Amino acid sequence: MALCQVRFFSQSLGKASEMVVVLPDNGEGPFPVLYLLHGLSDDASIWLRRSRIEWYVRDLPLMVVMPDGGRGWYTNGVNGEAYEDHIMKDVIGQAERVFPAARERQHRAIAGLSMGGYGAMSLALRYPDRFVAAASLSGAVGVGHRVVSDETLPDFRRIFGDNPEGSDKDLFALIRKVEQAQLPKLWLDCGVEDFLIEDNRAFHAHLQGLGIPHVYHEFPGAHTWDYWDEHIQQVLQFVMESMGQ
């Protein structure tokens, strides 16, 4: 595999940013792409440092792009940075300009863990014409579905506002706005000892109630890299099958 660290200026954030890209050894491309998002307090390097993602894709005709999402929840903050625009314009734009990345919806997927799981679902639902599949591992899928209280993290109010429930930052509301025929294929999983398990169960039940096809799994485990390193392998299989690979 070829491993590239790309530093670039993000017009959307008004500052320097970076992404890590894993490229297949064989083939000339264009290659299908998985955009793989990190969690809160991590950075673009974390998937490489804490998982075996590079090893798991060694035989796949797949590019993996791991961008820096800061603490921005991959959305345009009410009074914060434009991390949605950063991913959709700057990161994807750089990946497709610099590398042999396929540009068709059928060959573009997005996934992430925790904050990145929320981001993957949010971006896929806001841009269903851009992604064929989206996967959330231990995703914070309920974060926009409740009133922001003084006990929550201080940057939540800046990003989500005082009451995001029912807004475009609420996945429960957002998914109602997308026609089923346009929806990407969806994957959600969570560990049964994870503190986010009830939010994931609620979102799963919500999708069931709406009659929206999706894959949902509960596995043994907690909010840990041991869990994500194991189950990213299943997500990769889901992504490749969704792409018709």
pLDDT in tens, the chain (245 residues): 899 999 999 999 999 999 999 999 988 899 999 999 999 999 999 999 999 999 999 999 999 999 999 999 999 999 889 999 999 999 999 999 999 999 999 999 999 999 999 999 999 999 999 999 999 999 999 999 976 565 566 788 889 988 899 999 999 999 999 999 999 999 999 999 999 999 999 999 999 999 999 999 999 999 999 999 999 999 999 999 999 98
Split into its structural domains, the chain has a count of: 1
Q: Where in the sequence is the domain holding 112, given as residue range(s)? A: 2-242
Q: Is the model's pTM score more than 0.75?
A: yes
Query: Which CATH number goes with the domain that contains 62?
Result: 3.40.50.1820
- Name every residue whose Cβ is closer than 8 Å to that of residue 121 and which is 6 or more positions away in sequence: 134, 136, 139, 141, 171, 186, 188
Q: Which residues of 53-62 are buried (b: 16+ CB within 10 A; e: fewer)?
A: beebbeebbb
Residue 53, classed as helix, strand or coil, is helix
